[in-house]
Structure 1
Amino acid sequence: MKPLTTGPGPIHVIGLAAHPDDLEIGCGGTLLRLGARPGASAAFLTLTGSSERTEEARRAAAAVWPGARSTFAGLPDGRLPGHWDAVKQTLHDFAASTPPPDVVLAPRYDDAHQDHRLLGRLVTTVWRDALVLHYEIPKWDGDLGRPSTYVRLSKEVALRKLEILDECYPSQVGHDWWDRETFGGLMRMRGIECRSHYAEAFVVPKAVIDL
């Protein structure tokens, strides 16, 4: 299958995360690729996180996309559905503070984690005119599905993603699911599905193509 490519020129990207590390796990390689484009800009919003994890996320954002703006809302981890109004208002306030994006990256709307799922469902009610790529996050729940869209990654980009995860999130390294086999294996599997060595995969429920 011949891939579709984005046109030349600057691109503005918004990255949305329920928790620190969501973006780097779900689409760190894609962000590395987009951030390498001349004139590209980005703004990241993370809805939850302790002060320690917030600092980790700041370091990770600077490594993935130097110069990206990072915002942290400080909402309760694991309780976002109970703060629906605050989440919705935070997204609208963030949208008003940034240029209209070309691409929005957000969790899947059918993710098993309630915080991811709420954010994934609300994103298209706030950004209606951008391409929304819903990224996937491996977890205990075993909710990985069949993605519809892939971003191919070089070996160098895939390895850099793994380095950033380990270097920037020391608080997570002790978890039994946090290792290079988990994240590298998923990139390898998604690569097989799109005839690449490595890739990240997304769900895109709606896209407009100008032919």
Structure 2
Amino acid sequence: MMPLLAGDDELRVVALAAHPDDVEIACGGTLLALDARGGAKVSFLTLTGDDEREAEAVRSAEAFVPGVSSDFARLPDGRLPEHWGAVKRALHEHAERLPDPHVVMAPRPDDAHQDHRLVGELAPTVWRDALVLHYEIPKWDGDMGRPTTYVPVPEADARRKVELLHRHYASQRGHDWWDDEVFLGLMRLRGMECRERYAEAFVVRKAVVRW
């Protein structure tokens, strides 16, 4: 395995979410690793959300990656395909604020949820020169796919991720899928697939290797 950048280089990361909590559910362990690495500049863009959900998202993002910047497009939850132009515009405007990121985290373009799917489809059209890591989100639809790329997550970070999710997203605790077993179980399964205890998994549809 080879690190993306040398230890002293600043890693620029954009994290895209259709909804508040998407990124932390899918990539919380990876975010904690980025924070531990140091030298990473991270920005979040969340396409939907009201005042309560935005406040949760801001606190959560800061807890996962202190110093992160958070932007919100305030588009209607569950209706992003109807607002295709506004979504595309929000992505481009965010790209102008943090130019030339090395990594973009986005939903899978084949995600069963229409909001996730649109963001995942558009991300590579906006950030053409970045490594796009398409993340997975467990849900009722049962759309878990076959990942291509894994980020090992130390056990302490896996449990910290779950703790922070519970702490900062009180509005979501009533969902029947919102529990430790779902979050830790998925990370344990992905860890088994890459010979680690815990991991988060992504799909990389296109990568450029320079020797």
TM-score normalised over the length of structure 2: 0.97
Partner of 1:5: 3
Q: Which secondary structure does the structure 1 equivalent of 2:95 belong to?
A: helix
1:5, CA displacement in angstroms? 2.3
Partner of 1:140: 140
2:27 aligned with 1:36 = no
Partner of 1:153: 153
Partner Cα distance (2:19, 2:38) in 1:
29
Q: Which secondary structure does the structure 1 equivalent of 2:72 belong to?
A: strand
Partner of 1:190: 190
Q: Which secondary structure does the structure 2 equivalent of 1:42 belong to?
A: strand
TM-score normalised over the length of structure 1: 0.97
Is this contact kept in 2: 1:45–1:70, CA < 8 A? Answer: yes
Partner Cα distance (1:22, 1:173) in 2:
14
Q: Which secondary structure does the structure 2 equivalent of 1:36 belong to?
A: helix
Is this contact kept in 2: 1:35–1:41, CA < 8 A? Answer: no
Q: Which secondary structure does the structure 2 equivalent of 1:101 belong to?
A: coil
Amino acid at match of 2:89: Q
1:97, CA displacement in angstroms? 1.2
Amino acid at match of 2:140: W
Partner Cα distance (2:141, 2:188) in 1:
20
Partner Cα distance (2:193, 2:98) in 1:
35
Partner Cα distance (1:152, 1:6) in 2:
15
State the percentage of identical aligned residues: 63
Partner Cα distance (1:98, 1:7) in 2:
18
Partner of 1:78: 78
Unaligned runs of 5+ in 2: none
Partner Cα distance (2:202, 2:17) in 1:
15
Partner of 2:91: 91
Partner of 2:116: 116
Q: Deviations over 1:14-34 (max 9, x none)?
A: 000000000000111111111
Q: Which secondary structure does the structure 2 equivalent of 1:19 belong to?
A: coil
Is this contact kept in 2: 1:10–1:37, CA < 8 A? Answer: no
Unaligned runs of 5+ in 1: none
1:153, CA displacement in angstroms? 0.6
Q: How many residue pairs are counted as aligned between the two chains?
A: 209
Q: Which secondary structure does the structure 1 equivalent of 2:20 belong to?
A: coil
Is this contact kept in 1: 2:5–2:11, CA < 8 A? Answer: no
Aligned-residue Cα RMSD (Å) equals 0.8
Amino acid at match of 1:105: M
Partner Cα distance (2:50, 2:38) in 1:
34
Q: Which secondary structure does the structure 1 equivalent of 2:37 belong to?
A: coil
Partner of 1:66: 66
Partner Cα distance (2:155, 2:40) in 1:
22
Partner Cα distance (1:207, 1:4) in 2:
14
Partner of 2:18: 18
Q: Deviations over 1:108-128 (max 9, x none)?
A: 000000000000000000000
Is this contact kept in 1: 2:13–2:42, CA < 8 A? Answer: yes
